[in-house]
Structure 1
Amino acid sequence: MYQRILVPVDDSDTSRQALLEATRFCCDQHGKTRLVHVIDLAQFTWGGAEFVDVGELQSTLRSAGRKVLDGAAALMQENGIEAETALIEIWGGAISSALIEDAKTWPADIIVMGSHGWTGLDHLLLGSVAEGVVRHAPVPVLIIPIKRKK
């Protein structure tokens, strides 16, 4: 039985579907749940940064990240699950690496996350955080695919 469930969240339909599945999974486990959201603060430090207030943009990223976490925690609470939240800040690099590091540090027993299911050129250009996590995670990973509307 998994006692420590790590759930990466963002502001996408895919993430919401994974969160709902994690809610059902968590209800049966009676363990601890940690919701994490990763922001990349380095994305504004090069290329055009002289035209914007980088500090203000980074503050906006933090606020948006906290809003995502608050919404996810509220959804969990509606389902009777108290979850801790963590906003992870990176300065470049792979989001999947930040999630894997958090899974080790916390330490998680399982990671439950969504996948957009991109293929072909979209996958090549956009990559896959879920794929990166699955390849290098120190614990099992439950991937929830997006339910596409017909």
Structure 2
Amino acid sequence: MYDRILVALDDSASAKMALGEAVKLAKISSGLVYALSVVDRGRWPAEDSARFDFEPEPSAAANAATRIFEEAETLFRESGVSGKVRAIDAYGENVSEVLARAAEECDADIIVIGTHGRRGAQRFLLGSVAESLVRATERPVLLLRHDG
């Protein structure tokens, strides 16, 4: 069914729901979970003489990714599921495009991602990584909505 399941993680309740669902799918299908967090700490310079806008020290996002991965690895162990964790620095690239490319690289059978279910002005102002991901990939995407 699903041999390779990519789950997108951030520090949100909807991401935790997505991780739980990815683990359930992996348990049913004896699949492998790829837990991925995209960290955006800056952009590469446009030209050689430009100054790097890159934070060399671990950022709050990188620290959150470490905590998220520890939780994921604990859940993998407790559930008896095989899983790998990975952080990718987006360097200013669109998060949904980074996720879509990562799904291609690991040949994911499905992508699991949480969504906040924002509507109206909130969605317009904040955007939707989940919606953009659905548009950026040809792979199946399971959206889990957290209304909290």
Please say whether Structure 1 and Structure 2 have the same fold, judged by a TM-score greater than 0.5. Answer: yes
* Structure number with higher helix proportion: 1
Residue 19 of structure 1 aligns to a residue whose secondary structure is helix
Partner of 2:137: 137
Q: Which moved more, 1:91-100 or 1:65-74?
A: 65-74
Please state whether the residue corresponding to 2:113 is helix, strand or coil. strand
Per the alignment, in what secondary structure is the counterpart of residue 99 of structure 2? helix
State yes or no: 1:77 paired with 2:77: yes
Amino acid at match of 1:7: V
Aligned to 1:55: 56
User: Residue 147 and residue 120 in structure 1: after superposition, are their counterparts in 2 closer, same or farther (change >3 A)?
Assistant: closer
Specify every segment of 5 or more residues in structure 2 that has no aligned partner in the other structure, as ranges: 46-53
Q: Runs (4+) of structure 1 moved beyond 6 Å?
A: none
* Structure 1 residue 59: Cα displacement: 4.9
Alpha-carbon distance, 1:82 to partner: 2.2
CA contact (8 A) 1:100 1:133 kept: yes
Aligned counterpart, 2:33: 33
Q: Is the 8 A contact 2:116 2:147 kept in 1?
A: no
Could you tell me which runs of 5 or more consecutive residues in structure 1 were left unpaired when the two chains were aligned. Answer: 46-52
Aligned to 1:100: 100
The one-character-per-residue Cα deviations of 1:53-91 (angstroms, maximum 9, x if unpaired) are: 9322x4554333222112122123221112101111111
Q: 1:59 to 1:117 in 2, by over 3 A?
A: closer
The residue aligned with 2:89 is 89
Judge conservation of contact 1:114–1:130 (CA < 8 Å) in 2. Answer: yes
One-letter code of the match for 1:10?
D
Instruction: State the shift of 1:5 in Å.
Output: 0.4
How big is each residue's C-alpha offset from its partner over 1:84-135, in whole Å with a ceiling of 9 and x where there is no partner? 0111111102110100010011111110111110110110011111001111
SS in 2 for 1:11: coil
The residue type equivalent to 2:29 in the other structure is Q
Contact 1:104 1:138 in 2 (8 A): no
SS in 2 for 1:36: strand
Tell me what 1:50 maps to.
none
